[in-house]
Structures are given as structure tokens and as C-alpha cells.
């Protein structure tokens, strides 16, 4: 993963209790947060920009996903039955064990921070801070203001304006900007992948896209297949929609479809976006997937003037 070294250096010089990392989806905010957590606890010789050594006990524990001093809290995207949640939320149960009635969270923030760090500093990474419920945010305020054992909070969000003001006012902000295309190309080549123009354009400087290249390439291929089938005929479009249903990944396919439509006239893109939003809403409402994708194909054909 590509790291923004300057941000790690800035975080290292920060003496407060909370940082708010903002930037577009998949720009690499979580990777930066992990790097900051690693640097805060590193026991070895750190790099020029404050980066962790990568080989000490703390760094190896973090790489193995078993660091005792780092907690990642994220909104629940699925229900107890495994279906997509209607609305992402970080509930108060993530903060307080006694409020976690269904035991959604294995580790709760209050209990996590009661324990002294095994290495240097306990770090709580809150992914999707814009999904913090008011109760959860209010429960965090005292911890953020006076964290036990000098704990550090790292709040991640796509847009500062979508985060509750009580959290924003208590956090210093670090913006995580997209990287230059040539940096993305170099990273692809270094990892043994072809730096094809379509993939680089889709990434748009977002390092997080490189974490799932197979998923991204598959979604782009599926999007092209559906787009090509729309103009062939109604039956072809419905068959392509049926295949898309079986492979649909909400993490990549909506964006891949919009990327594929990027050269179309603005009014066509707007109508196709509306059809895609309707499809996602139908899936979140547990409507029939088969019927939802068929209606989606019909609506996009109409949006492109093909019906």
C-alpha cells in the first residue's frame, strides 16, 4: 500500500488526542491510520519521515493483525442475518459494552482504553466517522478530551461536514489527498501488475483501489459487458443484467458502471445514475434481486434512448 509519508510525519509531531483524517473514498485514509498507529508504537529505528521500522515486535504484531494496542471500529454494513443494512451506523454499543445488547462488537472502546498499553500508546481508529450515532459520539467526548493512558483517536471520514460537530471541534484535521497518476502506475508495476490506462484512470489517485485489483478489474469488465449489451437488444440487456446480478459487488460495481458511462452526455448519465440509485435502494430494501436488475437494465436502456 502506498503511504503518504508527510502525513505520518505531521501526526508524529501532533501532541493532541484526536486526529480527523478526511479524503475521498479509498484514497488511503485507513492505510495512513494504520501507519500512524504503527509509528506511535514502533520500538525500532524509524524512517526519516517518522515511518515505523516494520521489523520490531510492535510492527510485526500490527502486520499480523493482532496488535494489542490498536482497535479498529467501523459501522455495521450487514444485519445479524447477513443482509445489507439499510443504514450504516456506529452505535453506542461500540463504545459501551452494557449497551451492546446483541454483542455486535467483540471489543468496546471504553473497556479497550481501561487497559494500559503493551507497547507505547493505545490507538482507536474509527472508520466511517460520519456514521457515528449521536449517542455514540456523546459517549466518546470525555474519552477524546481526557483519554486514559494518552490514547490517540483517529477518526476517518470522506467529508468533514458530515461528521458530528462535537467530534470535529475536538480533532485536528489531516487531509488525505489523491496521489499523482504516475505514483499509482509505479505502485502497480512494483507489485507485478500491468499499469493499464483504464485502471489508472479508475483509481484517480486513490491508493485504496489497489488493495483489490481483482475485484476492480472484474467490476470494470462486468460494467463494459452490460454497457455493450444495452445497444444490442432488449434480450441481450436482460441476460447481461442477470449475469451482473450474480457477480454484483456494491463496493465496486456501482462505481465501475458510472466510470463506464463517463463519456456519455450529461443528461444520459444523470438518468442512468438515478436508475442505479433505484437499484441499490431496492437491494437494500430486500426486493427481488432478479426483478430489480431486470428493471435496472430497462431503465438504463431508456436513459440512453435505446428503448
Pairwise CA distance, residues 47 & 279, whole Å: 47
Q: Tell me how crowded residue 117 is: count the other CB atoms within 10 A of its CB.
A: 19
CA angle 117, 121, 123 (to 5 degrees): 105
Mean pLDDT on 263-271: 97
pLDDT confidence of 3, banded at 50, 70, 90? low
Task: Report how far apart, in Å, the C-alpha atoms of 60 and of each of 42, 240, 280 are.
Answer: 10, 45, 40
Q: Which residues share a beta bridge with 156? A: 21
pLDDT at 108 over 60: yes
- Quote helix, strand, coil % in the chain, to nearest 5: 55, 10, 35
| Pairing label, strands 123-126, 70-73 | parallel
Alpha helices by DSSP H, the chain: 5-13, 29-41, 57-63, 109-114, 134-145, 165-168, 181-190, 197-203, 213-230, 234-247, 253-260, 266-284, 289-303
CA angle 255, 214, 71 (to 5 degrees): 80
The three grid cell numbers given for residue 31, joined into one nine-digit string: 492505510
CATH code of 5-177, in short, is 3.40.50.300
Which of 7-16, 44-53, 275-284 is modeled with the greatest confidence? 275-284
Q: For residue range 46-62, what is the model confidence (pLDDT) as tens digits?
A: 877 788 999 999 999 99
pLDDT confidence of 110, banded at 50, 70, 90? very high
First-to-final CA distance of the chain: 44
Task: Report how far apart, in Å, the C-alpha atoms of 51 and of each of 8, 41, 180 are.
Answer: 7, 11, 21
pLDDT value at position 8?
85
pLDDT value at position 287?
81
How do the domains of the chain map onto residue ranges?
5-177, 182-303
pLDDT value at position 86?
52
Amino acid at each position: 500500500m502506498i503511504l503518504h509519508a508527510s502525513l505520518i510525519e505531521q501526526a508524529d509531531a501532533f501532541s493532541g488526542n484526536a486526529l480527523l483524517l478526511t479524503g475521498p473514498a479509498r484514497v488511503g485514509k485507513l492505510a495512513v491510520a494504520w501507519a500512524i498507529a504503527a509509528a506511535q508504537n514502533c520500538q525500532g529505528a524509524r524512517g526519516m519521515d517518522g515511518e515505523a521500522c516494520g521489523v520490531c515486535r510492535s510492527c510485526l504484531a500490527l502486520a499480523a493483525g493482532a496488535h494489542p494496542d490498536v482497535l479498529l471500529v467501523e459501522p455495521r454494513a450487514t444485519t445479524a442475518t447477513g443482509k445489507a443494512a439499510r443504514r450504516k451506523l456506529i452505535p453506542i454499543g461500540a463504545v459501551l459494552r452494557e449497551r451492546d445488547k446483541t454483542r455486535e462488537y467483540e471489543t468496546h472502546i471504553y473497556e479497550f482504553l481501561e487497559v494500559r498499553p503493551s507497547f507505547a500508546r493505545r490507538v482507536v481508529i474509527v472508520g466511517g466517522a460520519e456514521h457515528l450515532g449521536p449517542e455514540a459520539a456523546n459517549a466518546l467526548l470525555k474519552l477524546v478530551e481526557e483519554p486514559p493512558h494518552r490514547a490517540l483517536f483517529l477518526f476517518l471520514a470522506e467529508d468533514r461536514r458530515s461528521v458530528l460537530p462535537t467530534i470535529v471541534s475536538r480533532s485536528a484535521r489531516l487531509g488525505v489527498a489523491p496521489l499523482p497518476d504516475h505514483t499509482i502506475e509505479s505502485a502497480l508495476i512494483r507489485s507485478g501488475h500491468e499499469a493499464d490506462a483504464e485502471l489508472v484512470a479508475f483509481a484517480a489517485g486513490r491508493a485504496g483501489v489497489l488493495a483489490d485489483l481483482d475485484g476492480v478489474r472484474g467490476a470494470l469488465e462486468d460494467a463494459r459487458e452490460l454497457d455493450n449489451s444495452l445497444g444490442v437488444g432488449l434480450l441481450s440487456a436482460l441476460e447481461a443484467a442477470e449475469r451482473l446480478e450474480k457477480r454484483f459487488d456494491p463496493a465496486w460495481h456501482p462505481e465501475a458502471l458510472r466510470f463506464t458511462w463517463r463519456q456519455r452526455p450529461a443528461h444520459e448519465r444523470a438518468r442512468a445514475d438515478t436508475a442505479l440509485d433505484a437499484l441499490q435502494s431496492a437491494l437494500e430494501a430486500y426486493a427481488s434481486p432478479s426483478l430489480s436488475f431486470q428493471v435496472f437494465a430497462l431503465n438504463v436502456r431508456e436513459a440512453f434512448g435505446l428503448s
